[in-house]
Amino acid sequence: MATLDDIAKELGVSKGTVSKALNGARDVSRKMQQTVLEKAVELGYSRVSPVREAPRMALFILNMDYAGPQDFGYDLVMGFRQVAEPAGFRVDIIPLDLETQLGIRYDAYMMREHYCGGVFLGMSLVDPWLKEFETCITPTVLYDNHVSCNPNVTSIGVDIEEGLQLAIRYLTSLGHNRIGYLSSALESYVYRRRYEAFIQVMESMGLPCDESVMGNSFLINNCISEHLPRLLENGCTAIVCSHDMLAHSVMLYCFEQGIRIPEDVSVLGHDDILLCRYTAPPLATIRQNRSALGKSAFFALMSHQNGVPLSSHLLHAELVQRGSCGSAPKEPRVFHLRQQ
Amino acid sequence: MATLDDIAKELGVSKGTVSKALNGARDVSRKMQQTVLEKAVELGYSRVSPVREAPRMALFILNMDYAGPQDFGYDLVMGFRQVAEPAGFRVDIIPLDLETQLGIRYDAYMMREHYCGGVFLGMSLVDPWLKEFETCITPTVLYDNHVSCNPNVTSIGVDIEEGLQLAIRYLTSLGHNRIGYLSSALESYVYRRRYEAFIQVMESMGLPCDESVMGNSFLINNCISEHLPRLLENGCTAIVCSHDMLAHSVMLYCFEQGIRIPEDVSVLGHDDILLCRYTAPPLATIRQNRSALGKSAFFALMSHQNGVPLSSHLLHAELVQRGSCGSAPKEPRVFHLRQQ
């Protein structure tokens, strides 16, 4: 294992400078500190944690609100804290911006801030640090993202295929056999995986599944205007959506067009956001148990500490049955929507 | 929740009989005990564990030796015990036979024996209890098997796709681009998954992959005689095998035919059984860290107890590089083997 001497020698600076830089002393420049941190990471230097403090974990949040119980990220954060803090860890919640990611490498950041592990909620495929997860040395947990072949990184999430199995079995039990799928753009890891899993489950159950009953667009409005009329005209009596907000928009469109839910068309979302209970009718959905997900992020980090590096750690999916799904109509209505 | 009274009423027997049956009293017949246990499970009765004893977990073993360090199951069992026993659980190791499975339903067995959770190592697709895992209520962990849509069942294993990614990347870095795959019969869950993952990874890397370079048979001898000559004649300079014993047989065949390993052909297995270190040359393989797997089985059961039911819990794969893999030959030899 590399020592302070090794780092000093490689950089041609004194051991004192290295020590000060690693400890964030004020008389070492920000630039020198970063140079030292990145060299320390490169050489595999391992900091001896000061015993006086609780070990620290970082929970990074991006593209997600978490301030109150109505926000998607709230239960994720609470679930994590509920198990990490009683176990003796200090948890810092860090809204992560682009500037931070561009300013310092991930491992160097984690060493500078004395974090023993990091969890990422809501990372997008264009975030600069995502590429670094392929080689990072810090124990790291990614929610709804996946990086292969780095033993230090674990993926957590809900079993996507199982969720769609539960949903499609439920819809077929209600008599639906023409089931459509609408999705946000497939550049997101989770939307792509849900889209692919829908196809896979439909095919495994011998149900028809092709472009005539599927569609995806970046914006919800485009998804509705460009794809939904086609799905309805092609005889879909049930529509599964990649997320609840999209499912809600499907319901609004149907309301405007005089299409009854669930008598004419059943609608089912993903996630179980708070809104689902308050739509008319309430929205059936494939639930993400966010409190359990937050807890599982901590268990995944602890598994690293116990010498059992996990690749993926998936929760069981839960189907929430609500009024937006009902029996398939005996004689499906024929829609002519494009002309309207 | 069902009470003793409910069970007694349903069966038309006294509450005393139900109580005795649940506690295994000798003056209740085996048949009555089983009837009571199965009704108790059906009604969702939950036994209050006697506080005087440590909670008990059952580790079922099938089709696998585990008596000594040379056996495949040994480290699995030890890994599990190493974490379960210090955590206060009593662990019973149970070689499971067909008779037991046919004699009593799984949940009733677990209730009769006072187990709070079960782990299954080496279950085959024809074992009678496998079907019961689709609906069982006992927290259950399956090693290298998968049952979908039952929140009480978790799959554990190694990330199969990641293992094949590591192996194929390694072989291509050595200059191989014609890579074959030999497998045991695909009726086993894990052999089928490895076979499919090989195709998936090869395709994702743009490498040729079709029936001319793949083969599977139930018996190792058949696999060698029916498929290996074809793979070699079709120009494979590297062969990945579904398990180490098969890879070892490939090496023996090559030795008999005067085919040099790794100069002419590289060979790579799965599992890292003890033999791999002692073959000539030593066998490269995709390792199953069995001690870590045993530990992860316990963590998966504990996750149920913590209210976080897991669907799957996969360890990172490890590639073990050894002498059986080397640089691809600059001019691959042309083999004519069928005629011999």
Q: Does A284 share its domain with A309?
A: no
Tokens read off for B174: 């050595």
Percent of chain A at pLDDT above 90? Answer: 74
A299 CB near a chain B CB, below 8 Å?
Answer: yes
Residue A329 maps to a domain:
no
Q: Does A244 share its domain with A225?
A: yes
Interface test with A, best of B153, B310, B319, B320 (most A CBs within 10 A): B310
Beta strand B56-61 with B90-95: parallel, antiparallel or unpaired?
parallel
Measure A153 CA to nearest chain B CA, in Å.
Answer: 9
User: Which chain A residues are Cβ-neighbours of B86 within 8 angstroms?
Assistant: none
**Cβ A166–B159 below 8 Å, yes or no?**
no
Q: Does A215 share its domain with A280?
A: yes
Distance from C-alpha of B302 to C-alpha of B297, rounded to nearest angstrom:
9
Q: Does A169 share its domain with A272?
A: yes
- Domain region containing B4: 1-34
Q: Round to the nearest angstrom and report the end-to-end CA distance of chain B.
A: 71
Sheet architecture: strand order including B179-183: B214-216, B179-183, B238-241, B266-271, B284-287, B318-320
Task: Enumerate residues 174 to 233 of chain A having a beta carbon within 8 A of any beta carbon in chain B.
Answer: none
Residue A274 maps to a domain:
yes
| DSSP code at position A182 | E
Residue B178 maps to a domain:
yes
Burial of B126: CB neighbours in 10 Å, binned 0-12, 13-18, 19+ = exposed
Whether the pLDDT of residue A118 is over 80: the answer is: yes
Burial letters B311-332, b for 16+ CB under 10 A, else e: bbbbbbbbbbebebbbebbeee
Residue B66 maps to a domain:
no
Beta strand A318-320 with A284-287: parallel, antiparallel or unpaired?
antiparallel
Residue with tokens 């302070």: A4
pLDDT at position B338 is 64
User: Which chain A residues are Cβ-neighbours of B165 within 8 angstroms?
Assistant: 148-149
Residue B6 maps to a domain:
yes
pLDDT at position A271 is 95
**Cβ B309–A296 below 8 Å, yes or no?**
no
Burial of B148: CB neighbours in 10 Å, binned 0-12, 13-18, 19+ = middle
B292 CB near a chain A CB, below 8 Å?
Answer: yes
Distance from C-alpha of B111 to C-alpha of A236, rounded to nearest angstrom:
46
**Cβ B295–A306 below 8 Å, yes or no?**
yes
Mean pLDDT of A322-327: 97
B159 CB near a chain A CB, below 8 Å?
Answer: yes
User: Which chain B residues are Cβ-neighbours of A313 within 8 angstroms?
Assistant: 310, 312-314
| DSSP code at position A18 | H
Contact call for residues A292 and A317 (beta carbons, < 8 A): no
The total number of residues shown for chain A amounts to 340
Burial letters A158-169, b for 16+ CB under 10 A, else e: bbbbbbbbbbbe
Whether the pLDDT of residue A261 is over 50: the answer is: yes
In chain B, which residues have pLDDT < 50? 339-340
ipTM over 0.85: no
**Cβ A292–B313 below 8 Å, yes or no?**
no
Determine the residue of chain B that is closest to A152 in CA distance. B316
Residue B63 maps to a domain:
no
pLDDT at position A22 is 85
∠ CA B213-B218-B223 to the nearest 5 degrees? 40
Per-residue pLDDT tens for A11-64?
999 988 988 888 888 888 888 888 888 888 888 887 765 556 788 999 999 989
Q: Does A197 share its domain with A298?
A: no
Q: Does A78 share its domain with A123?
A: yes
- In this complex, the residue of A166, A309, A313 whose CB is nearest that of residue B149 is A166
Whether the pLDDT of residue A102 is over 60: the answer is: yes
Q: What is the mean pLDDT of chain A?
A: 92
Q: Does A167 share its domain with A77?
A: no
**Cβ B308–A318 below 8 Å, yes or no?**
no
Alpha helix (H) residue ranges in A2-97: 4-11, 15-22, 30-43, 74-84
C-alpha torsion sign, points B176, B177, B183, B188: positive
Determine the residue of chain B that is closest to A293 in CA distance. B308
* Residue A117: φ, ψ to 5°: -170, 155
Residue B89 maps to a domain:
no
∠ CA A73-A76-A77 to the nearest 5 degrees? 85
Interface test with B, best of A313, A319, A320 (most B CBs within 10 A): A313
The total number of residues shown for chain B amounts to 340
Q: What is the CATH number of the domain that holds A91?
A: 3.40.50.2300
Strands (E), B82-233: 90-95, 115-121, 140-143, 153-158, 179-183, 214-216
Per-residue pLDDT tens for A32-43?
888 888 888 888
Per-residue pLDDT tens for B191-246?
999 999 999 999 999 999 999 999 999 999 999 999 999 999 999 999 999 999 99
pLDDT at position A51 is 54
**Cβ B311–A162 below 8 Å, yes or no?**
yes
Please, which pLDDT band fits residue A200 given cuts at 50, 70 and 90? very high
Whether the pLDDT of residue A83 is over 90: the answer is: yes
Residue A87 maps to a domain:
yes
The one-letter amino acid at A11: L
Tell me how many domains chain A contains: 3
Nearest to B116 by CA among B168, B47, B204: B47
Which of helix, strand or coil describes residue B224?
Answer: helix
pLDDT at position A340 is 42
Task: Enumerate residues 165 to 184 of chain A having a beta carbon within 8 A of any beta carbon in chain B.
Answer: 165-166, 169
| DSSP code at position A325 | -
Sheet architecture: strand order including B310-315: A90-95, A56-61, A115-121, A140-143, A153-158, A310-315, B310-315, B153-158, B140-143, B115-121, B56-61, B90-95
Cα B246 to Cα A277, A298, B91, B98, B250, distances in angstroms: 56, 39, 33, 27, 6
Nearest to A280 by CA among A267, A271, A293, A297: A267
Q: Does A111 share its domain with A17?
A: no
Q: Does A168 share its domain with A277?
A: yes
Distance from C-alpha of B307 to C-alpha of A229, rounded to nearest angstrom:
42
Contact call for residues B178 and B208 (beta carbons, < 8 A): yes
Written in H, E and C, the secondary structure of A186-254 is CCCHHHHHHHHHHHHHHHHCCCCCCHHHEEECCCHHHHHHHHHHHHHHCCCCEEEECCHHHHHHHHHHH
Distance from C-alpha of B77 to C-alpha of B295, rounded to nearest angstrom:
9
Q: Is B122 left (phi over 0), alpha (psi -120 to 50) or beta?
A: left
Other beta carbons within 10 Å of A126: 8
Q: Does A124 share its domain with A135?
A: yes
